[in-house]
Structure 1
Amino acid sequence: MTDTMTALVCETPGQLQIHQRPRPADRPGHLRVRVAAIGICGTDYHIFGGNQPFLQYPRVMGHELSGHAMADSTDGRIVKGDLVVVNPYLTCGDCRACRAGKPNCCENIAVLGVHTDGGMAEEIVVPEGNLYPAGDMDARAAAMVEFLAIGAHGVRRAAPAPGSDALIVGAGPIGVGAALFARIAGARVTLRDTSADRLALAASIIPDAVTELVSDASDAVFDTVFDATGNIGAMNAGLSHLGHGGAYVLLSVVKGDLVFADPEFHKRETTLLASRNATHEDFRHVMDCMARGLVPVDRIATHRTSLTDAVADLPRWAEDRGTVVKALIEVA
């Protein structure tokens, strides 16, 4: 093994290059992982486009990861060669949120591929506690656990009752994930988007969901509304779709101010929930649902490429994501 590895580096906004970089150094309490598959996230597209405020260039992107452990873990959970799912949220363990069992909103969180170099490379070194044995999954499915856990976490926060009505606004990957896990929880699901192509893809993944173009949407109200648009205007408008006594869940995070009319907010006795990242419990729930055949992995994974070809493919997909649910880079 040489002292260097291949990595896909975002040098500056709009500029991707393949580099030979030094392999990451070993660290106590960490395991070296040979990366197998990488999901391309909306965050990666934003980094490429220069619209992500929380990083410095150059950056090795990639936080939706699976790979093979290159050594045994000290606690015996993982054996060399095991396929693992990577939890990319590096937390301090000491802040108020971590002590309260909410590491997903750690005050000092660092996310692989955003605050520190990520997994668009041949290898990465990760804390042992952030690695989960993937069992019988393949590498592609294991790399999709993290993005699905985002939606699953929002659904767990809202706890929609079986038979209740849930609206998901935004049919991108996170919205599709939220819709899928709301359906698994027993809710009746409606998906809205401005793109007929995205809605058609969502319908292929969740056939019994109702899909509506925003321009044609009815005036119906819902017990739970999830915003996954990444658009502050849509986030401000979402309250109008919520029924009295309902919960409004914001999966999106964008710059801007949330502005609601207090009488409208108050008369509904609205429960307003932000949903950030995911926890170990959410990862395990997604993996369990995958094992039970409740997640149509083959329909979610719409595009794939290699580390080298991603130099051309990622910019192309960033320009037109209407037919992309989840694109993956296959490394090994």
Structure 2
Amino acid sequence: MKGIVLQEPGNAVLKEIDEATAGGDEVLLQVRMVGLCGSDLNSYRGKNPLVSFPRIPGHEISATVVDPGSHKEWVTGTHVTLSPYKACGQCTACERGRPNACRDNQTMGVQRDGALTELIAIPAAKLFRADLSLKELCLVEPLTVGFHAVGRGRVTAEDTVAVFGCGGVGLGVVAGAAFRGARVIGIDLDDQKLETARKAGAAEAINSKTSDVHAQLMELTSGRGPDVVIEAIGSPATYRAAVDEAAYAGRVVYIGWAKDQVPYETRLFVHKELDILGSRNAMPEDFRDVIRMLEAKRFPVDAAVTHVVPFEATPRILAEWNREPERFTKIMIEVS
């Protein structure tokens, strides 16, 4: 079968690979669409420390059941999405019922080969069915990352939530917090992304390139600061800003991963008595929540997906994305 292989940094090729076959606990799927995210771009650039080469990317997936094997609950022709994570089941995170934070987690397209191929074999327990289009199914996994962060922040309808970064992951945060009834403030330096964030549920939007973020947040929260600040960028500046802007006794959730050391005013940790939380991957309940939201048509799918390209164009679009990342919000590959 055909697959997209990252041979080395900056070199993606379409080539023949071994055809997938399903084992006893697996279902054979025909891959329909695969979404690309920032981790895929970092893999292409050789900046993802978790990736070795060669590697087949792709973990945001919509697919169709080709052969359910012994799993009678799955019928040939059913459209599905899936959880791309594989936990060890033995580390402290797994023992505590949080396999999303598994010490030895393996995500498709990162620590193991992904879905940019014609066929994949996936454990039946990882599959989710939904009354959604192929494009919507492909959006489920990236949105779950934001939904999980919202859960980590214990967001309720009583909260004002500020979201730093309104790209693919940040949009999931905006949508997840709005779905819980919270008042959401989106923060980004791109007006188009902020407009999409409004469509996803943000009540207010702040352009950090043209506005004083602190002054705007103080005005919008009557001088209190947001109850919850969720960081979905991964820069030292926004890591610090999240702590600076959070209300007293507020919560700060980090999804983005700052590659450089972050100097903090640690007094604020104690003086505000902040809850500072990390958020990684997603749990099955996050997938189910996102599916409910998408089935309720509460997310601007067409505005969020900026580029849809055919399978054979994947090497070209990766190269273009690498050269001009600001042109792209969400890329989807039509595999079949």
Deviation at 1:323, TM superposition (A): 4.2
Identity %: 28
Aligned partners of 1:197 and 1:322 also within 8 Å: no
The within-5 A match list for 1:277-288 is 277-288=281-292
**Matches of 2:236 and 2:186 in 1, distance apart?**
18
- 2:295 is equivalent to residue 299 of structure 1: no
- Distance apart, 1:214 and its partner CA: 4.5
Q: Does 1:188 align with 2:183?
A: yes
The one-letter amino acid paired with 1:6 is K
Following the alignment from structure 1 to structure 2, what is the Cα–Cα distance between the partners of residues 68 and 119?
A: 13
- Would you say 1:154 and 2:149 are equivalent positions? yes
Distance of 2:68 and 2:235 partners within structure 1: 44
What is the Cα deviation at residue 187 of structure 1?
1.4
Tell me whether 248-257 or 202-211 shows the greater mean CA deviation: 202-211
How many Å separate the matches in 1 of 2:149 and 2:325?
23
CA drift of 1:298 comes to 2.0
**Is the contact made by 2:28 and 2:68 (CA closer than 8 Å) also made in structure 1?**
no
Q: What letter corresponds to residue 166 of structure 2 in structure 1? A: A
Q: Which runs of 5 or more structure 2 residues have no equivalent in the other structure?
A: 219-224
Q: Would you say 1:81 and 2:85 are equivalent positions?
A: no
Equivalent in 93, 96, 99 of residue 100 of structure 1: 96
With over 3 angstroms needed to count, the CA separation of the structure-2 counterparts of 1:258 and 1:75, relative to structure 1, is farther
Pairs within 5 Å for 1:153-302: 153-206=148-201, 208-216=203-211, 217-219=213-215, 220=218, 221-302=225-306
SS of residue matched to 2:161: strand
Report the more deviating stretch, 309-318 or 58-67: 309-318
Distance 1:26 1:200, change over 3 A: same
- Hey, what's the Cα distance between the residues in 2 that align with 1:215 and 1:246? 26
Within 5 Å, give how 1:42-53 maps onto structure 2.
Answer: 42-53=38-49
Q: What secondary structure does 1:309 align onto?
A: helix
Please name the residue that 1:30 is paired with. Answer: 26
Query: Per-residue CA shift, 1:140-163, capped at 9, x if unaligned?
Result: 110110000000000011122214
TM-score by length of 1: 0.93
Shift of the alpha carbon at 1:289? 0.9
Larger CA deviation: 97-106 vs 111-120: 97-106
1:10 paired to 2:6 = yes
Tell me the distance in 2 between the aligned counterparts of 1:183 and 1:214. Answer: 24
In the alignment, the residues of structure 2 paired with residue 164 and residue 207 of structure 1 have an alpha-carbon distance, to the nearest angstrom, of 13
Q: CA deviation at 1:192?
A: 1.3
State the 1:73 CA deviation.
5.6
- Mark the CA change 1:33 to 1:329 in structure 2 (over 3 Å): closer, same or farther: same
Secondary structure of 1:27's counterpart equals coil
Map of 2:137 onto structure 1: 142
Structure 2 Cα separation of the partners of residues 224 and 128 of structure 1: 36
Please state how far the C-alpha of 1:270 moved relative to its aligned partner.
Answer: 0.2
Residue 284 of structure 1 aligns with an amino acid whose one-letter code is R
Q: What letter corresponds to residue 229 of structure 2 in structure 1?
A: V
Kindly tell me the number of residue pairs found equivalent between the two proteins: 327
Superimposed CA distance per residue, residues 44-74 of structure 1 (whole angstroms, 9 cap, x where no aligned partner): 1111111100011111100001111122264
- SS of equivalent to 2:181: coil
**Could you tell me which residue of structure 2 aligns to residue 64 of structure 1?**
60
Are 1:115 and 2:115 an aligned pair?
no
CA displacement, residues 191-213 of structure 1 (integer Å, 9 cap, x when unaligned): 11233343234334446332332
Counterpart in the other structure of 1:314: 318
**2:125 — aligned with what?**
129
Q: Which whole-Å CA distance do the structure 1 matches of 2:88 and 2:124 have between them?
A: 14
Q: Is the 8 A contact 1:198 1:323 kept in 2?
A: no
The structure that is strand-richer by fraction is 1
Q: Which moved more, 1:186-195 or 1:169-178?
A: 186-195
Decide whether the 8 Å contact of 1:73 with 1:128 is kept in 2. Answer: no
Residue 119 of structure 1 and its aligned partner are, at CA, apart by 0.4
SS of structure 2 residue aligned to 1:84:
strand
Residue identity in the other structure for 1:116: R
Give the Cα–Cα distance (whole angstroms) in 1 for the partners of residues 113 and 229 of structure 2: 34
Structure 1 residues 159 and 274: alpha-carbon distance in aligned structure 2, compared to 1, 3 A threshold: same
CA RMSD in angstroms, aligned pairs only: 1.7
How far, CA to CA, are the matches of 2:2 and 2:250 in structure 1? 49
